[in-house]
């Protein structure tokens, strides 16, 4: 039986040690990033006094978590069930609007070779680097002015917050889909045109099915952002009205003088569960769509 060259064996040993060190570092980083989630789960099974006394101690009674959940849903002030329904409606309708308009816009910008399409695409890309804090107060003023002019209120309404998410979510979505559509062969669209398909039918029957990996990616990324967003709903919906999203409902348990830490952390855990489940089932689509969109 032939022996391995000592120099080759030394290289293999060094590669094995480097791999082991890398795996240990990855595990340590994983544990570090999981500490906040672990503390939320741990403290959601405690009373507020127990959390204040020892936030890292093990819960004495895990059944306290179910008592906290019952208190959250029975609260007449926060109305957590209504906030959950509001978040679900806003997220679904916003995603539908962003996906519908962004996909068509990206397709038009790719297939038109004129100078205005490149300039418009660069405008969308540049909008991605503008901090939201720069435009948030002018946004509220413009929403108030436009709503008064059209006699269609935009503040404190579903259509107002959905319109805002459409404006802020289109830039990244168009950027991702633009790179992916470049990899779609133009010959497929030309063949569809020869067969008698118009532009609308060509887009929905030929182009859109090929965009599914990137399409699912942008839906998931935008869905996580919209579901967890706090600042934009705070500005557009406000806190005094009855329409709240889940982040606003969670913040409602933190008063000016009293903070109900047990309810804050338990409601935070409830808000995290749908996104965690969605990400676990769809993470392969996120990675596939991002990689394919980057190389095309």
**Per-domain boundaries in the chain:** 6-64, 68-295
List, in sequence order, every residue forming a beta bridge with 254; answer none if it has no partner: 259
Q: Can you spell out the DSSP letters for 227-256?
A: HH--HHHHHHT-SSSS---HHHHHHHTB-S
Encode pLDDT of 91-104 as tens digits: 999 999 998 899 88
Encode pLDDT of 172-228 as tens digits: 899 888 888 888 788 888 888 887 888 888 888 888 888 887 888 888 889 889 998
The span from the CA of 196 to the CA of 69, in Å, is: 58
**What's the confidence (pLDDT) of residue 256?**
58
11 or 193, greater pLDDT: 193
Encode pLDDT of 135-185 as tens digits: 888 888 888 898 888 888 888 888 889 999 998 989 889 988 888 888 878
- Nearest Cα to Cα of residue 51 among 290, 278, 268, 295: 268
pLDDT at 291 over 70: no
The span from the CA of 143 to the CA of 137, in Å, is: 10
- Among 5-19, 29-43, 55-69, 197-211, the minimum mean pLDDT is found in 5-19
Report the mean per-residue pLDDT for the chain.
83
Over range 106-115, report the average pLDDT: 84
Q: State the pTM of this model.
A: 0.81
- Nearest Cα to Cα of residue 243 among 27, 17, 86, 56: 86
**What's the confidence (pLDDT) of residue 287?**
62
Over range 44-73, report the average pLDDT: 86
In SS3 terms, 124-169 reads as HHHHCCCCHHHHHHHHHHHHHHHHHHHCCCCCCCHHHHHHHHHHHH
**What's the confidence (pLDDT) of residue 27?**
92
Encode pLDDT of 71-89 as tens digits: 888 877 778 888 889 999 9
- CATH superfamily, domain 68-295, is MetI-like (1.10.3720.10)
The SS3 of residue 195 is coil
- Among 4-18, 174-188, 256-270, the minimum mean pLDDT is found in 4-18
């Amino acid at each position: 039986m032939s022996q391995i060259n000592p120099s080759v064996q030394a290289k293999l040993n060094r590669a094995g040690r480097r791999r082991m060190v890398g795996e240990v570092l990855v595990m340590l980083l994983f544990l570090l990033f999981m500490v906040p989630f672990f503390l939320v789960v741990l403290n959601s099974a405690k009373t507020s006094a127990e959390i204040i006394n020892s936030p890292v101690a093990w819960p004495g009674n895990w059944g306290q978590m179910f008592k906290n959940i019952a208190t959250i849903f029975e609260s007449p002030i926060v109305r957590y069930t209504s906030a959950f329904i509001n978040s679900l409606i806003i997220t679904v309708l916003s995603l539908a609007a962003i996906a519908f308009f962004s996909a068509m816009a990206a397709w038009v910008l790719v297939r038109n070779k004129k100078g205005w399409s490149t300039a418009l695409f660069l405008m969308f890309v540049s909008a991605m680097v503008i901090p939201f804090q720069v435009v948030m107060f002018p946004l509220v003023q413009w929403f108030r002015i436009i709503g008064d002019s059209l006699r269609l209120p935009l503040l404190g309404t579903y259509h107002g917050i959905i319109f805002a998410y459409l404006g802020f979510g289109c830039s990244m979505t168009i950027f991702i889909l633009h790179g992916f559509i470049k990899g779609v062969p133009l010959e497929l669209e030309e063949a569809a045109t020869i067969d008698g398909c118009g532009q609308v039918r060509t887009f929905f029957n030929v182009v859109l099915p090929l965009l599914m990996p990137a399409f699912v990616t942008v839906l998931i990324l935008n869905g996580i952002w919209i579901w967890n967003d706090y600042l934009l709903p705070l500005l557009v919906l406000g806190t005094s009205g009855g329409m709240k999203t889940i982040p606003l409902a969670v913040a409602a348990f933190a008063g000016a003088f009293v903070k109900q830490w047990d309810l804050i952390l338990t409601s935070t855990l409830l808000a995290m569960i749908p996104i965690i489940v969605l990400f676990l089932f769809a993470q392969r689509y996120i990675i596939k769509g991002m990689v394919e969109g980057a190389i095309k």
